[in-house]
């Protein structure tokens, strides 16, 4: 085909363009740098705490560091994620964007891909600084790196929820919902505890249903092993990544379904 | 070059109805009711009507942003939800807003990618279209520093970027100064000259009167008129308004509309009585300030259509 006349780009180009713009929006927002600066401060503070405390310095650096990566990663996913789709609708930029030859699912995928890139850069930076600290203390960076990868997978799941919630509700409710999923995802053992106390019947079924819907984020948690330099089975890592990816994909499919039905008033 | 088969409707609405829920889900506003309308390729089509007539709702259904409750919409023969239907479409929403963290150039580059424009061609088109809308030299201005008029011009630029066969513009002249309005009008005329179809909405009749080939008039969500502009308005003179100074009104033919100080505004029904009036003024030693032939304009048509009993809202 010759270049004259309008054409439609392929799905990869469309999703890529929307992702690039989303990434640009995030990195031009001060909040991201504030969060990153805070995270690096906390990671660095591990060294001081290690000096003051009796115990294994390396473990303290790793423990505090991985917690910081996880928490600040979560805050980034929530802050950047929940306003992603909402802002486009609220500021009505979606009115011109969706009139392009763009499928609604490509819009959702592009937004998510942009957010995932932000999280990749963010956790990557925090992880690099933490690994450097561990190496400086004479430790091996391997287990920490695996811990960081698993945190990133967890954040991908959380980010998918942020995009889902922000496609049908306001940022405050979306943020509350996203944090709730994160918390519940780390307490999935408590569903069993709760179930034993509930009467037979509907309540127990509801409890089972809630457990099935909420992702089991503990499956992705290898922090204890990383901190104590215990062996982490490759199969566990692989299964965790597969579980997280499948979960995130399912949530995104749901977000696309919600978004495809929407009117833009 | 345009690629639209002549005679084929580029946009077709058949029995389209759309209602909105009221605030907090209470009540219902029927924004568009049973609208059947076809826009043929080529020329300038004006979708006119007062505020709240349902113009924006209609245009949003045409471009796939709203789904009709009832009826069908076809854009280039396909449902507008199909991205393929929107390849040859350019759209400017009402009071547009764009990414304030981008510069004009970055913004158009982004949309150029979504239009499938490749590297060098995209760069060339972005420059070209910025010049076309009068924003040459403002490529690097961040959008958060742009005035409303500049944003409107950028909105036109993004609609024109891929040289679409059909332009749908929602109130393209609103919020612009007279110079801006003229630029937009010239731009629309240039699109027609290039063989493209322009469909635009306006609640201001003068915008449409001078440039539209066909118009549709919406009132209360329903179609009141569709056809060639000359059929909507007769060019017949209804009466003349004449401003006169230096004569007492009692000695002149015609009825007095108003008077302020020396000047009196008189109304005479036809050319013969206009002649009589002018002679009477000259004989009485007065002067004629101005003569204004009042024609049946869209304005009058509007007033007639909106007139008594034109309730627009249906509560349920
Ligand atoms: N999102 C909405 N929610 C409720 N009512 C709406 C909404 N959008 C438009 N309306 C109502 O529908 C009618 C038509 O609106 P609109 O299409 O914007 O008219 P126009 O563009 O001709 O001014 C108006 O009465 C308006 O109040
Ligand atoms: Mg409107």
Token code pair at residue B230:
């000359």
B110 CB neighbours in chain A (<8 A) are: 17, 20-21
Beta carbons of B90 and A93 less than 8 angstroms apart: no
In a domain, A242, yes or no: yes
DSSP-derived letter for residue A198 is S
For B35, phi then psi, to 5°, come to -90, 125
In a domain, A137, yes or no: yes
Percent of chain B with pLDDT over 70: 89
Q: What is the ipTM of this complex?
A: 0.88
Residue B53 Cβ contacting ligand 1 at under 6 Å: yes
In a domain, A1, yes or no: no
In a domain, A233, yes or no: yes
Has residue B315 got a pLDDT over 50? no
Question: Which residues in B have their CB inside 8 Å of a CB on A?
Answer: 3, 20, 60, 63-67, 83-84, 86-89, 91-93, 96-99, 101-102, 106, 110-111, 113-116, 118, 121, 155, 158, 162-165
pLDDT in tens, A88-135: 999 999 999 999 999 999 999 999 999 999 999 999 999 999 999 888
In a domain, A2, yes or no: no
Of residues A213 and B92, the one with the higher pLDDT is B92
Residues 6+ apart with CB under 8 A from B58: B13, B16, B32, B35, B37, B47, B201, B218
The predicted structure's pLDDT at residue B306: 64
d(CA B265, CA B289): 9
Whether B101 sits inside 8 A of A29 (CB atoms) is yes
pLDDT in tens, A38-60: 888 888 887 777 777 766 778 88
The predicted structure's pLDDT at residue B301: 66
DSSP-derived letter for residue B54 is S
Has residue B316 got a pLDDT over 60? no
Q: What is the pTM of this model?
A: 0.84
Number of domains in chain A: 1
Report CA torsion sign: A30, A33, A39, A43.
negative
pLDDT band at residue B239 under the 50/70/90 scheme: confident
Using the mean position of ligand 1's atoms as its centre, give its distance from the Cα of residue B56 in Å.
Answer: 7
| Mean of per-residue pLDDT scores for chain A | 88
Percent of chain A with pLDDT over 70: 97
In a domain, A56, yes or no: yes
In a domain, A73, yes or no: yes
pLDDT in tens, B33-72: 999 999 999 999 999 988 889 999 999 999 999 999 999 9
Q: Which residues of B134-146 are buried (b: 16+ CB within 10 A; e: fewer)?
A: bbeebeeeebeeb
d(CA B305, CA A211): 61
The predicted structure's pLDDT at residue A121: 96
The predicted structure's pLDDT at residue B304: 67
Most confident option among A252-261, B177-186, B239-248, B283-292: A252-261
Beta carbons of B100 and B144 less than 8 angstroms apart: yes
Whether A13 sits inside 8 A of B67 (CB atoms) is no
Residue B29 Cβ contacting ligand 1 at under 6 Å: yes
Q: Which residue segment(s) compose the domain that A222 sits in?
A: 11-260
Residue range A141-163: mean pLDDT, rounded = 94
pLDDT band at residue B2 under the 50/70/90 scheme: very low
The predicted structure's pLDDT at residue A111: 96
Using the mean position of ligand 1's atoms as its centre, give its distance from the Cα of residue B217 in Å.
Answer: 16
Which range among A1-5, A138-142, B216-220 shows the weakest confidence by mean pLDDT? A1-5
Beta carbons of A155 and A71 less than 8 angstroms apart: no
In a domain, A4, yes or no: no
Whether B114 sits inside 8 A of A98 (CB atoms) is no
Residue range A229-248: mean pLDDT, rounded = 91
The predicted structure's pLDDT at residue B305: 62
Of residues B300 and B314, the one with the higher pLDDT is B300
Residue B97 Cβ contacting ligand 1 at under 6 Å: no
């Amino acid at each position: 085909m010759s270049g004259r006349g309008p054409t439609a780009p392929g799905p990869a180009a469309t999703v890529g363009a929307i992702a690039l713009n989303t990434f640009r929006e995030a990195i031009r927002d001060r909040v991201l740098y504030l969060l990153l600066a805070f995270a690096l401060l906390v990671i660095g503070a591990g060294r001081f705490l290690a000096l003051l405390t009796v115990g294994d310095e390396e473990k303290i650096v790793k423990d505090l560091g991985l917690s910081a990566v996880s928490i600040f990663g979560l805050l980034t996913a929530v802050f950047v994620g929940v306003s992603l789709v909402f802002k486009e609708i609220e500021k009505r930029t979606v009115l011109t964007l969706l009139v392009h030859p763009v499928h609604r699912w490509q819009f959702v995928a592009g937004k998510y891909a942009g957010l995932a890139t932000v999280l990749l850069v963010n956790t990557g930076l925090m992880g690099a600084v933490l690994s450097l600290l561990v190496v400086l203390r004479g430790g091996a960076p391997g287990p920490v790196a695996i811990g960081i990868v698993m945190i990133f997978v967890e954040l991908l799941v959380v980010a998918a929820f942020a995009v889902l919630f922000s496609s049908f509700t306001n940022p405050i409710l979306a943020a509350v919902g996203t944090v709730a999923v994160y918390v519940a995802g780390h307490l999935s053992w408590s569903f069993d505890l709760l179930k034993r106390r509930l009467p037979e019947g509907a309540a127990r079924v509801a409890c089972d249903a809630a457990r099935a819907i909420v992702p089991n984020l503990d499956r992705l948690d290898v922090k204890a092993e990383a901190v104590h330099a215990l062996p982490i089975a490759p199969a566990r890592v692989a299964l965790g990544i597969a579980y997280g990816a499948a979960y995130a994909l399912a949530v995104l499919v749901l977000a696309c379904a919600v978004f495809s039905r929407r009117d833009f008033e | 070059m345009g690629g639209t088969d002549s005679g084929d409707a580029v946009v077709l609405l058949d029995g389209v109805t759309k209602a909105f829920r009221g605030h907090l889900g209470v009540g219902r506003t029927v924004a568009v009711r049973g609208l059947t309308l076809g826009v043929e390729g080529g020329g300038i089509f004006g979708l006119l009507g007062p505020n709240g007539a349902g113009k924006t709702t209609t245009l949003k259904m045409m471009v796939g942003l709203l789904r009709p409750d009832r009826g069908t919409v076809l854009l280039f023969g396909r449902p507008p939800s199909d991205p393929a239907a929107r390849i040859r479409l350019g759209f400017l929403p009402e009071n547009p807003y764009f990414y304030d963290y981008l510069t004009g150039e970055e913004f158009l580059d982004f949309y150029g990618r979504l239009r499938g424009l490749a590297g060098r061609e995209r760069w060339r088109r972005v420059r070209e279209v910025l010049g076309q809308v009068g924003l040459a030299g403002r490529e690097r201005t961040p959008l958060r520093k742009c005035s409303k008029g500049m944003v409107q011009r950028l909105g036109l630029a993004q609609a024109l970027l891929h040289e679409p066969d059909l332009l749908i513009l929602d109130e393209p002249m609103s919020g612009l100064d007279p110079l801006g309005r003229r630029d937009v009008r010239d731009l629309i005329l240039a699109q027609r000259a290039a063989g493209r179809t322009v469909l635009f909405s306006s609640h201001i009749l003068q915008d449409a009167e001078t440039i539209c080939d066909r118009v549709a008039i919406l009132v209360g969500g329903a179609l009141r008129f569709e056809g060639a502009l000359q059929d909507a308005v007769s060019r017949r003179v209804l009466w003349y308004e004449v401003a006169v100074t230096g004569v007492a009104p009692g000695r002149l033919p015609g009825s007095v509309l108003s008077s302020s100080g020396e000047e009196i505004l008189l109304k005479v029904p036809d050319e013969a009585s206009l002649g009589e009036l002018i002679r009477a003024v000259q004989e009485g030693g007065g002067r004629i300030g101005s003569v204004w032939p009042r024609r049946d304009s869209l304005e009058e048509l509007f007033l007639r259509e909106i007139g008594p009993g034109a309730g627009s809202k249906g509560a349920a």
